[in-house]
């Protein structure tokens, strides 16, 4: 009962999200590919890192803010793109974007968000970011970029680790991407029916639950299956580094390449495109299993690119302490994914706002007790 009244940590929000979401949706959010080893290791690798506690350092004024792309962020973390977020809470992308704006960090809208670019733009007053997959239909990809620019998006988060879809066995078991026999369909329907909070706040009334950015691409789609089929058919496994020039030609703002896990690929990105940012990411453990945890891959990539670009990290971040560890090992900032999605499913916009405030408080303590008063001061000496 106390958890329902006052969730605090990301783990609390996850537990509450599990209670409120239909199993099919919770497992889509919570799960990873194959045996989910990378999914688990993303979190465990942070837990294995120990902070070096220091004392008597005059930490009376700790500042958790940082400057990225000329803007001041409340903490060095943005909200990562999470597809389907509008299925976790009523117009979920809008709620998350509003929470991020009020707190003072960027929000990134997924290509496969429920809410469209235009809907998010209408609900916010500051620029947000847009995430785009490698799409075969270059005409539609260009149109999406044009729409994003017109909606005021200042950065394009171009996801490059989805040339093919990793197999997420929870989704297969739950019938997310495959036909189910009648008995299984009835059990899934019954599970949805008993999630009264979800039915009241997400399923009933309001705007249609579809992929808002893809309505023009699949105008006659009758359900998520047809939208999902279009996305799967339009992923482009033939795209190479040279094709990134096409992205640069069609996007006038900042470009962030998401999905880099290898120092050699980071070098190729810099030689080919010189992006404004790189995200060290294994897609939250949802693509290729048995890859390194992102925090373990980070130092080599930071060393490779030096200060030539902004380095972000996502995957496994569950607290402000994790953010401090990531910055200590070379990240300029982090992208939060499941952390905000769990909070959204549990408490909507208020949950996302509270989760971000908790992370700021955790950062404040971690910085004070490792002897740092500014984010720019945090370095490897913070790690024991």
Q: So what's the pLDDT on residue 183? A: 85
Q: Are 48 and 195 in contact (CB under 8 A)?
A: no
Left, alpha or beta for 351 (phi > 0: left; psi -120 to 50: alpha)? alpha
**What pTM, to 2 d.p., does this model score?**
0.96
pLDDT value of residue 210:
85
User: What is the four-CA torsion angle of 153, 314, 334, 51, rounded to 10 degrees?
Assistant: 180
Grouping H, G, I as helix, E, B as strand and the rest as coil, residue 164 is: coil
pLDDT at 204: 85
Q: Which residues are catalytic, by number?
A: 283
pLDDT for position 1: 44
Residues whose CB is less than 8 angstroms from the CB of residue 151 and which lie 6 or more positions away in sequence, other chains included: 117, 118, 120, 121, 130
Walk along the chain (384 residues) in steps of 10 and give the mean pLDDT of each run. Answer: 76 97 96 98 98 96 98 98 96 98 98 96 98 90 96 97 91 82 88 93 82 81 71 86 93 98 97 96 97 98 98 98 98 98 98 98 98 98 98
The pairing of strands 71-73 and 66-68 is antiparallel
pLDDT value for 198: 94
Q: Name the fold adopted by 35-169+230-382.
A: TIM Barrel (3.20.20)
């Amino acid at each position: 009962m106390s958890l329902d009244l006052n969730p605090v940590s990301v783990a609390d929000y996850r537990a509450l999200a599990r209670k409120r979401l239909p199993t099919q949706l919770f497992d889509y959010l919570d799960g990873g590919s194959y045996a989910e080893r990378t999914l688990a290791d993303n979190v465990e690798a942070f837990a294995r890192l120990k902070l070096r506690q220091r004392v008597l350092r005059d930490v009376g004024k700790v500042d958790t803010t940082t400057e990225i792309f000329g803007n001041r962020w409340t903490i060095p973390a943005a909200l990562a793109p999470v597809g389907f977020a509008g299925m976790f809470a009523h117009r979920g992308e809008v709620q998350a974007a509003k929470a991020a704006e009020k707190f003072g960090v960027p929000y990134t809208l997924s290509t496969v968000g429920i809410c469209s670019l235009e809907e998010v733009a209408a609900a916010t007053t500051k620029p947000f970011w847009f995430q785009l997959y490698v799409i075969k239909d270059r005409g539609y990809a260009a149109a999406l970029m044009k729409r994003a620019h017109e909606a005021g998006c200042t950065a394009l988060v171009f996801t490059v680790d989805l040339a093919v879809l990793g197999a997420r066995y929870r989704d297969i078991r739950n019938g997310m991407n495959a036909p189910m026999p009648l008995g299984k369909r009835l059990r899934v329907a019954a599970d949805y029916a008993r999630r009264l909070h979800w039915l009241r706040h997400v399923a009933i009334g309001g705007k249609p639950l579809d992929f808002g950015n893809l309505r023009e691409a699949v105008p006659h789609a009758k359900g998520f299956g047809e939208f999902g089929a279009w996305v799967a058919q339009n992923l482009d496994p033939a795209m190479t580094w040279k094709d990134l020039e096409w992205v640069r030609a069609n996007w006038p703002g900042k470009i962030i390449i998401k999905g880099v896990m290898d120092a050699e690929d980071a070098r190729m990105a810099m030689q080919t495109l010189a992006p404004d940012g790189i995200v060290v990411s294994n897609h939250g453990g949802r693509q290729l299993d048995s890859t390194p945890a992102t925090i373990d891959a980070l130092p080599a990539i930071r060393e490779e690119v030096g200060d030539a670009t902004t380095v972000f990290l996502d995957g496994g971040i569950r607290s402000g302490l994790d953010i401090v560890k990531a910055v200590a090992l070379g990240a300029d900032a982090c992208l939060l994914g499941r952390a905000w999605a769990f909070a959204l499913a549990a408490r909507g916009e208020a949950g996302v706002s509270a989760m971000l405030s908790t992370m700021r408080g955790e950062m404040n303590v971690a910085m004070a007790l490792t002897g740092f008063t500014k984010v720019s001061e945090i370095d490897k000496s913070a790690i024991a």
